């Protein structure tokens, strides 16, 4: 119940911040939409993720299938597997100098060429395992609820036509950006790190790449060369944690 009230409160606060532009019906609709966001089903979250990912793809430069980046990712994806807890995984490379990677609840997994330039295949495997962890552990689902609540509260979208049909292309793109820049808690990040370690071990992939990926990211901290640091704990501490797991064999 607390969770539902918090989404309604978010809707009301957002609407009231521009109250001169809202009438009573809009305020009520906004609150209803935010309540709906708090109770999104898994299917609805995947629907929104699918549409958001499609919009993100349409705005990105995607590495062609015959490129070195795509061939590398094909090898990496074969090692990691073709699903996240039963959800089919879909991998692509965005051609951008940014150092980043992310995954959505529908199995959409994207890695930026800037990150691939920085890291070995084994290190990219570790990073993508972490992003897959956010999906598998439900973190991405919660992030979608929060992102959708904020969008619904501001736009007071109509309820007809299904969840994704309520939003324009620009709003779907904005929703995707919110997910890419989601503020995960330190505990969620640590859980995703552990998920990646366990996945790598299960798939007979050397977990050392997870350590060295963090060590490389640690060197970039404070330089603003990577967007992966906005919400993540200190990379060196994360590397040390994985080192301990490797040493313990657990």
Q: Are 238 and 207 in contact (CB under 8 A)?
A: no
Query: Pairing relation of β-strands 108-112 and 90-94?
Result: parallel
CA 165 to chain centre: 21
Q: Which of 131, 174, 189, 215 is catalytic?
A: 131
Residue 51: which of 199, 134, 189, 151 has the closest Cα? 151
Q: Which two tokens stand for residue 197?
A: 């370690």
In terms of DSSP bridges, do strands 83-84 and 87-88 run parallel, antiparallel, or are they unpaired?
Answer: antiparallel
From the list 31, 187, 163, the residue with the least C-alpha distance to 106 is 163
How far from each other are the two terminal CA atoms of the chain, in whole angstroms?
Answer: 38
User: By CB neighbour count within 10 A (0-12 exposed, 13-18 middle, 19+ buried), where does 148 fall?
Assistant: buried
The CA dihedral of 222, 231, 10, 151, to the nearest 10 degrees, is 90
Backbone φ, ψ for residue 90 (5° rounding): -130, 115
Tell the residue number behind the tokens 């199995």, with chain if given.
107
123 is a catalytic site residue: no
SS3 157: coil
Can you tell me the distance from the alpha carbon of 53 to that of 59, in angstroms, rounded to the nearest whole number? 10
Both tokens of 219, joined, read 């060197």
What amino acid positions are annotated as catalytic residues?
131
């Amino acid at each position: 119940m607390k969770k539902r009230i918090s989404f309604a409160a978010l809707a009301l606060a957002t609407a009231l911040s521009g109250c001169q532009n809202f009438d009573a019906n809009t305020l009520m609709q906004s609150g209803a939409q935010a309540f709906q966001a708090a109770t999104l089903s898994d299917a609805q979250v995947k629907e929104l993720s699918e549409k958001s990912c499609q919009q993100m793809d349409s705005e990105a430069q995607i590495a062609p299938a015959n490129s070195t980046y795509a061939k590398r990712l094909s090898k990496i994806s074969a090692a990691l597997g073709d699903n996240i807890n039963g959800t089919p995984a879909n991998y692509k490379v965005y051609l951008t100098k940014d150092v980043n990677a992310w995954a959505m609840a529908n199995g959409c997994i994207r890695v930026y060429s800037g990150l691939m330039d920085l890291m070995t295949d084994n290190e990219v495997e570790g990073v993508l395992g972490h992003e897959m962890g956010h999906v598998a552990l439900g973190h991405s689902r919660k992030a979608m609820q929060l992102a959708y609540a904020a969008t619904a509260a501001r736009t007071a979208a109509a309820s007809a036509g299904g969840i994704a049909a309520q939003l324009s292309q620009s709003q779907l793109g904005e929703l995707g950006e919110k997910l890419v820049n989601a503020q995960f808690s330190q505990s969620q990040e640590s859980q995703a790190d552990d998920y990646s370690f366990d996945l790598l071990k299960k798939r007979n992939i050397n977990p050392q790449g997870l350590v060295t990926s963090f060590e490389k990211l640690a060197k970039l901290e404070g330089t603003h060369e990577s967007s992966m640091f906005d919400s993540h704990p200190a990379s060196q501490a994360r590397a040390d944690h994985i080192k301990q797991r490797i040493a313990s064999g657990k």
